[in-house]
């Protein structure tokens, strides 16, 4: 995820959540050394994103969404699979997911 991705990421965030993160919240999180953003693209269009933190023995998913028009196509599953592949390559052994109500 890079700065120019932010308008599309914010649109997905607003479409997916009743109380979406603001741009400032995204930027503040991504400026942290251990925070990483990932986007999913279809035909050069951003259709999903994930924000996660790296910790000593785990990855902590803070925010994760797929645009409603692109759900049920396996995009979220592919993003999770990519995250799982990072577990072994980075010697981490679990993933935590933060859920909003």
CATH of the domain at 77: 3.40.630.30
pTM of the entire predicted model: 0.89
Domain with 29 in it: 3-97
Indicate if the pLDDT at residue 76 is higher than 90: yes
Distance CA 45, CA 48 (A): 9
**Rounded mean pLDDT, 48-74:** 94
Q: Structurally, how many domains does the chain consist of?
A: 1
Residue 58 to residue 64: CA distance in whole angstroms? 17
Per the prediction, the chain carries an average pLDDT of: 92
Q: Of 61, 51, 60, 52, give the one whose Cα is nearest residue 23.
A: 51
Given this model, what pLDDT does residue 90 score?
A: 66
Give, for 41, the enclosing helix (H) or strand (E). Answer: strand 35-42
Here the tokens at position 35 are 């925070």
């Amino acid at each position: 995820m890079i700065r120019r991705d932010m308008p599309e990421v914010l649109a997905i965030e607003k479409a997916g959540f009743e109380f979406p993160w603001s741009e400032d919240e995204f930027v503040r999180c991504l400026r942290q050394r251990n925070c990483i953003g990932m986007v999913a693209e279809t035909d050069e269009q951003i259709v999903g994103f994930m924000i996660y933190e790296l910790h000593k023995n785990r990855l902590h998913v803070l925010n994760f969404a797929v645009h409603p028009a692109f759900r049920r196509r396996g995009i979220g599953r592919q993003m999770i699979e990519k995250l799982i592949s990072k577990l072994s390559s980075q010697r981490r052994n679990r993933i935590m997911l933060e859920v909003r109500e």
